[in-house]
Each structure stands twice: as C-alpha cells, then as structure tokens.
Amino acid sequence: MSPDKYEPLTIETLADRLGSVEAICKIVGDDTSKWKINEVGDGNLNLVYTVSSNSGNIIVKQALPYVRLVGDSWPLPLSRSFYEHEVLVRQAKRDPGSVPEIYYFNKEQAIIAMEMLLPHVILRKKLIAGDKIDGLAQRLGEFCARTAFRGSDLSLQTADKKSDTAMFQGNLALMAITESLVFTDPYFQAEMNHHTDGLDPVVKILRSDVKMKSEAQRMLMKFTANTETLCHGDLHSGSVMCTDNETKVIDPEFGYYGPMGFDIGMLISNYLMAYFSQPGHRSSETLLEYQNWILEVIIETCAAFQNEFKKLWNSERTGILFPRSMFEDQGDSSEFALNNMLEHIWQDAVAICGIEMHRRVLSLAHNADFEEIDDAKKRSQLEARNLMMGRDLILNNKSIKNASELTDLAKKFNSENYL
Amino acid sequence: MSPDKYEPLTIETLADRLGSVEAICKIVGDDTSKWKINEVGDGNLNLVYTVSSNSGNIIVKQALPYVRLVGDSWPLPLSRSFYEHEVLVRQAKRDPGSVPEIYYFNKEQAIIAMEMLLPHVILRKKLIAGDKIDGLAQRLGEFCARTAFRGSDLSLQTADKKSDTAMFQGNLALMAITESLVFTDPYFQAEMNHHTDGLDPVVKILRSDVKMKSEAQRMLMKFTANTETLCHGDLHSGSVMCTDNETKVIDPEFGYYGPMGFDIGMLISNYLMAYFSQPGHRSSETLLEYQNWILEVIIETCAAFQNEFKKLWNSERTGILFPRSMFEDQGDSSEFALNNMLEHIWQDAVAICGIEMHRRVLSLAHNADFEEIDDAKKRSQLEARNLMMGRDLILNNKSIKNASELTDLAKKFNSENYL
C-alpha cells in the first residue's frame, strides 16, 4: 500500500490503493475492476466505503484529519483509527462474535478494512421504524458485562491493565469531545449547542439546577479519572447493527478507560430516547405496544448484564481486586462485595444515562430519534419529557434501585406534558 | 559521571563517581578529599548517603535493584528513582518549599542528589519522643490540598494531565507493593505478614468481617483505577522531616495517580498510630497532654486542607472539571459542588486511614511507633485499639462527618481494652 503519507481514499483511488492488500483480496477478489465501491458514511467523523464483488463484501473505514460533521475547522487526530482498531481487537477477544471481523489495518493511512455486516441495519433506524430484534437485550447486556469485567482489574493482570490504561490516555482528542459535548456543553450556552424552539423553559430548569449540574460534573470526574475498564465509549443505538435476530457492536473509536457503568448507561439512555420519541414515529395503534417492548429491552439488558457479570465474578476473578484469598479461601462469601460492585456500576450507569439524554437534545450531535420528527412542536414536547427524566436520573442515581424502577419512571415521564 | 551501566554507590566510590558533577560541587566543593561521606539509609528500599564538607551538605539517594528491607530475592526496578524525581519536581512547583531542592538527577544510575535537611528529624521519631512541631498541621494540610488540587483535572490542562497519568502508570512495581501490602495482605495469611503475639483474637475479628474486607477492596479499586491526582503515595510520618518549626516532605517514589484523599488519609492514619502507641513511650504525667496534641494536629491538618482546597477551588479552577461557565458565569454558586468534593475526599481519606492502620500492624512493614515498644503484651494491647478503630473507619467512612468526630472516636478506642 502506497503512498506512506496519509491521503484520504476516494471512490476513484480506493481500488488502486487497496488492490494489492492480500487480506482484502481474499474477501473481494484481486480483480479490482470487479469491485463495486460506494461511499456510505453517515456518521459524524469518518469516511466509510463498501467494496463489493461476486466473491464478497468489505467495509473500508478511514479516519479524516477533522470532524466530518463540522469540517476542517475542527481538526481531529488520525490516531483515533489506531485506538478503534485496538479496542476492536480487545472486544473480539473479550466477547467473541460481538464485533465485525478485522481484515486489515493501516495505521498511517488510518484505514480499517472489516467485515461488512449484511443485511444488518443501524439499531437506531430499526427503533425509529418500530422493528423488534430477537436477542437484542441478551446480546448487548452480555457485551457490556464481558467487556467491563474482562477489561478491569477484576480480571486482567494489573501490569497489562496499567500499560493499556497508559496507552489509551493517548486517545485524548476523542475523550475531549465527550468531556465537553456530553458532560458540559448541555449545561451552559456553548457555541455549538442547538435545541428545538420551545424548549427554553425546560432548558432553564436544567441550567439553573445547581445540584444536578454538580452531579453531572461529578460524573465527568469519573469519566476522566476512573480507569476501571476499557469502555466502548460511544455505545449509542447508532453504534449497534442488527438483523431481526443478530446484533453487533461497531465504531469504538471513542474507546477509553472509564467507569464500568459507562457503556450500559449510554445504551439505556438511547433506548429511553427511542422510547420517548415513539409518538413522533407511529400511530396510537402500535405505539404503546412498541414502547413497552423498548422498556422490556432495557429491563432484560440489565438482567443479562447482571447475570453475566455475576457469572464472571465467580468464575474469572483472577485480577488483584477482591481476591479469593480474602474471601472464598477463608470460607467467606464474596456476594456482599459483588452486590456492592453491581450497585456502584448501576448508579454510575443511571447518572450517565441522564446526562446522555440531555446532550443529545441540547448539545451538538442530536439523535435521529428526535431529529426526524418534523413537527417541531411535537418534537419539543417529547424532548421535554426526555430532558426532565434525564434530570431525575442525574439527581437520583443513588436511589433508583433497578431497571424496573427506571422503566416505571419512564412511563411516568411519558405521561407528563411540560410545554 | 561514569560508568553508564548501573552500579550501586559505596562510601569508597561515591566521591570518585560524583566528584565531577558541577551541581554537586557547587554545594560541597570540588575537592573531594574534603568530602565526609556516610551511609544513613534507614528506609526499606534505597541507599542514602550524606556528603558533607566545610562548604555544605547534600543527600545522595540511590535506588537499589531490589527491596533493601528484604534483599535481592525481591527485585524492584530502578525506574522508581525516575518517578521519585518526577514527583519531586511537580511537588516543588505545586507547593514551593515543601520538598528538598534537587541538585542533580541521573536516571541510569537511579541517583538523586538533593538538599540535606538539617537539623530536621524524621517526624515519626519526634512523635515517639514526644516533641511538638510548630506549624506542622498547617504545612502538611496545605501540602496535601495543593498537590491534590493542582495535580487534578480541576487545575491542569486535561492533555497534560492525561499524558502525565499515562507516564505514571509505569510506576507499577511500586503500586503493586501498595496494592498487596496495604490493601490485601492484612486480610489473609499472606506469606510476609507478621504480628505481635496475642493479637490473634482481634485479627480474627478483622479477617472474618466480610463487609469490612469488601470495603477495603473497594478502596483498592479506587487506588488502582481512580486517577484523580498525582499522590505522594507514601505520606506516612517517616516521609516527613521536621525541626521544631519547619516541616518538609520527602521520599515520593511511590508517586502515582490516585484518589485526592489518599495522602491525607495515610497521614492521619500515622498520627493515629502515634496516638495509640503513646502509652508505650511515656509516663502518665505527659501522656494525655501529648496525645491530645496529636489529635489537635489531626483536626488542624484537616482544617488547613479544607481551607486551602476551598481557596484553590475559588481562585485556580482552570481545568475541565466544574467550569465557571456552568456555575459562576450563570450566577450560580459552586459551593454545593465544592462541599460534595470535600466530602468525597474525606470519605476516601477515612477509609484509607483505617486500612493503613491495619497494614502497619499486620502486614510486612511495621511502624516504629509500635515496634519500639519492647513489652509485647503492652504493644499488643495498644495495637488492638488501633486495629479496632481502623475497622470502624473502614466500615463507617461514609458516616464519620469530620475530623472532630474522628478524634472523638480515637479517644473512645483509646479507653477500650480488647485483649
């Protein structure tokens, strides 16, 4: 592969530049004249190409030296592609089958060539369309538990965990995006913010809630200074692809060492936004039933997380934390410690969940769930419910006991009108 | 300075090897025949020499490739000298005058030549002797607050803090010592443990307390995965040197990124051990008065910490955490957040304090405070009070509100007899 100097791929140059890569030809053949190449990137950051031929299909993802959504006025280092690759390798090991297979990685060109997920569709699109996915909750609950547990000092050798933690501190540009867009910008008039007309009264409630803002910043301190495990870092419904019965996780370029509750908290948040936005996408005949399905997914995701985490706690606790020498080997149960740990994870998840519900409505990068509702008045009413529940979650993360209390709260907020 | 290959200094070779270092000759002169050289190391890890002449004095500290206390069966990397130097540089910047001045550093030889503190004495010796030190509490309270605040995301640019966090992950061998000796070994029959005869009944209480052990391990998770600030890492009364009215902090080779409450918690712990051990060192005439002085030092240390931290919060909050844009710039006070932060730091400090009280009596490296009490029966009785209070602090770190409640507790435990 030449040239050495970074250059963005184009539809015209892709075949020339990747046609000699053996691992790629193994999938799509070495006759590049048969390659059908399309640019399909709809994310905020990168170039994404599909390469298809009679023999197979691949995805070619290339980082740009800036934020695609904003343009070259917002530079962003190519190294995020390196970190994405590093995370994918670890996720594949910690939860086999959960992420696309990697065929080829080029650090200088910031290119990852990987398995094309076909006929998978972005989960967010399915949630907007009202599709159900078999096994969704189980798959993602297990993914969050396995990556959280197996990337932590509960499981890893501490020397390995520390050198990995050190390496991922380098992904700071991506962390900086989360630090400002997620945890800070929603709570003041940041330059890149925008929100739906009519939301001002609710925005005012949030921005004048000192207790809630303090709690959001306490969670930022956890984001930036709790290196419990390697997180996906951006596990929203646009980072998940599904068929009717298969679910895969993609796009971990925001990977960082953070709280064990981060990924599952962000995931639940995106389910809740799907839930609150449903009245903008379907009529009352199917509305309630589909909304309830989403809440069921939340409950089952949390149950799958807890069950898997417990299983790993009892079977794979080989790190420095809570060693068997201090518990089981002395005839003591470690269940009390396990339950404390799950409670700690849950509280972090609930607070993160609330913060994510705010930033997707108030900060730069909004969700299609709400954005695709054309009627601004309706949209603002649904967003208001979502914002007010987010506030409740941030304020009360220590008293909301479990997923079923959380989904009950969602039903309550779903019946309120704030505007 | 030759040779390049690491070689331990000896009294015979020191002058030859350091005699051409300009920064050293500036202090002790370049006529090495006039240098008086002594080995004075009484710590657990390193070689320490004094070099004196008519013109001045220096300390030369050199790491050994193993733990001095144990011997070459326990290897320990020379890189700890590099980390010690890095911490000293940061502490000098964050709290000018708090640490010895550095004259010379040689990474390959793991040598730091620094200011000889004269006529300073190790704080622990003074506490055993019943000496009082003017300004001790103020000095160390401010030191803990300044290093905690100025090394955190409350103050630093986050890119600098992240690269520093990454670098210090490399000090893993020293962290591993704390992880096992402090947080884990006290709570099971670890190979290197030893404790005073007669303590078994109390040790049994501790080791069968599942709730307390879980809490100790929760704190280990914070030690190993909360990178809030650059900690000294070993701030016991042997890492502090004093005259009657001046106090300096030494020996930060255990420096690591950890909880903001770590250093002050370990410091309070060492005061409490000095407190409980006093009946082994003096007669009842002066006992109560000196014990009360120690408790006063604890209260004043915590007050100095809080006052200084508050001052810095209001005047130097330039990091990403709790930005003024979210509080003051909107006309909101950030006092609620500040008080939450101080509470968080305090709770961590109380738990760390209790754990340190355990490990110094049950694990490998004991304190002279208790060790120098020859009467094993008396020693065990005093150690028992200390162990039982440590347990209380670990269990109740969230409900002990302040330093005055903590010192009241100390008085209560000081009047109990457990054996």
**CA triplet A76, A81, A82: central angle to 5 degrees?**
115
Q: Given CB atoms, is A13 within the 8 Å cutoff of chain B?
A: no
What CATH number was assigned to the domain covering residues A121-414?
3.90.1200.10
Interface touch A188/B336, C-beta < 8 Å: no
Distance, CA of B315 to CA of B111 (rounded, Å): 37
Which chain B residues are Cβ-neighbours of A176 within 8 angstroms?
158-159
CB pairs under 8 A between A and B: 152
Peptide bond into B119 cis (omega under 30): yes
pLDDT in tens, B321-368: 999 999 999 999 999 999 999 999 999 999 999 999 999 999 999 999
Distance, CA of A417 to CA of A393 (rounded, Å): 18
Give chain A's mean pLDDT.
Answer: 97
Cross-chain CB nearest to B172 (options A162, A167, A213):
A162
pTM value is: 0.97
Interface touch A162/B179, C-beta < 8 Å: no
Q: What is the SS3 assignment for B214-282?
A: HHHHHHHHHHHHECCEEECCCCCCCCEEECCCCEEECCCCCCEEECCCHHHHHHHHHHHHHHHHHHHCC
> Structure tokens of A393?
């979650």
Residues 165-204 of B with CB under 8 A from A: 165-167, 169-170, 172, 175-176, 179-180, 184, 187-188, 190
**Mutation for A interface: B210, B222, B223, B328, most A CBs within 10 A:** B210
pLDDT in tens, A82-127: 999 999 999 999 999 999 999 999 999 999 999 999 999 999 999 9
- Return all residues near B15 (Cβ < 8 A) that are at least 6 apart: B32, B33, B35, B37, B51
pLDDT in tens, A162-181: 999 999 999 999 999 999 99
What confidence category does residue A3 fall into, taking pLDDT thresholds of 50, 70 and 90? low
Interface touch B176/A169, C-beta < 8 Å: no
Interface touch B332/A180, C-beta < 8 Å: no
Which chain A residues are Cβ-neighbours of B175 within 8 angstroms?
158, 162
Q: To the nearest 10°, the Cα dihedral for B295, B300, B301, B304?
A: 170
**CA triplet B411, B415, B417: central angle to 5 degrees?**
140
Interface touch A210/B327, C-beta < 8 Å: yes
Interface touch A184/B325, C-beta < 8 Å: yes
Interface touch B220/A320, C-beta < 8 Å: yes
**Mutation for A interface: B221, B328, B362, B394, most A CBs within 10 A:** B221
> Which pLDDT score, from 0 to 100, does residue B4 have?
74
Interface touch B320/A180, C-beta < 8 Å: yes
Interface touch B332/A184, C-beta < 8 Å: no
Q: Decide if A9 contacts A49 (C-beta within 8 A).
A: yes
Q: Given CB atoms, is B152 within the 8 Å cutoff of chain A?
A: yes
Q: How close B344 gets to chain A, by Cα (Å)?
A: 10
Same topology between domain A14-115 and domain A121-414: no
Domain ranges of chain A: 14-115, 121-414
> Which pLDDT score, from 0 to 100, does residue A170 have?
98
> Which pLDDT score, from 0 to 100, does residue B71 have?
84
pLDDT in tens, A322-352: 999 999 999 999 999 999 999 999 999 999 9
pLDDT in tens, B13-63: 999 999 999 999 999 999 999 999 999 987 778 999 999 999 999 999 999
pLDDT in tens, A216-233: 999 999 999 999 999 999
Which chain A residues are Cβ-neighbours of B340 within 8 angstroms?
214, 218
pLDDT in tens, A290-299: 999 999 999 9
Q: How close A254 gets to chain B, by Cα (Å)?
A: 15
What confidence category does residue A143 fall into, taking pLDDT thresholds of 50, 70 and 90? very high
> Structure tokens of A130?
């009202």
What percent helix, strand, coil does chain B show, rounded to 5? 55, 10, 35
Q: Given CB atoms, is B286 within the 8 Å cutoff of chain A?
A: no
Q: Decide if B214 contacts B397 (C-beta within 8 A).
A: no
Which chain A residues are Cβ-neighbours of B257 within 8 angstroms?
225
Q: Which CATH class is domain A14-115?
A: alpha beta
One-letter amino acid for residue A181 of the chain: L
Interface touch A188/B325, C-beta < 8 Å: yes
> Which pLDDT score, from 0 to 100, does residue A87 have?
98
Q: How close B205 gets to chain A, by Cα (Å)?
A: 13
Interface touch B166/A165, C-beta < 8 Å: yes
> Which pLDDT score, from 0 to 100, does residue A1 have?
47
Three-class SS state of B39 = strand
Cross-chain CB nearest to A326 (options B170, B187, B325):
B187
Residues recorded for chain A: 419
How many other C-beta atoms can be found within 10 angstroms of the C-beta atom of residue B365? 17
Q: Decide if A105 contacts A58 (C-beta within 8 A).
A: no
Cross-chain CB nearest to A340 (options B163, B214, B225):
B214
Q: Decide if B214 contacts B206 (C-beta within 8 A).
A: no
Distance, CA of A277 to CA of A271 (rounded, Å): 10
One-letter amino acid for residue B120 of the chain: H
Q: Decide if B312 contacts B156 (C-beta within 8 A).
A: no
Residues recorded for chain B: 419
ipTM > 0.85 (yes/no): yes
pLDDT in tens, B390-412: 999 999 999 999 999 999 999 99
Q: How close B362 gets to chain A, by Cα (Å)?
A: 14
Residues of chain B with pLDDT under 70: 1-3
In chain A, the residue whose alpha carbon lies closest to the alpha carbon of B180 is A320
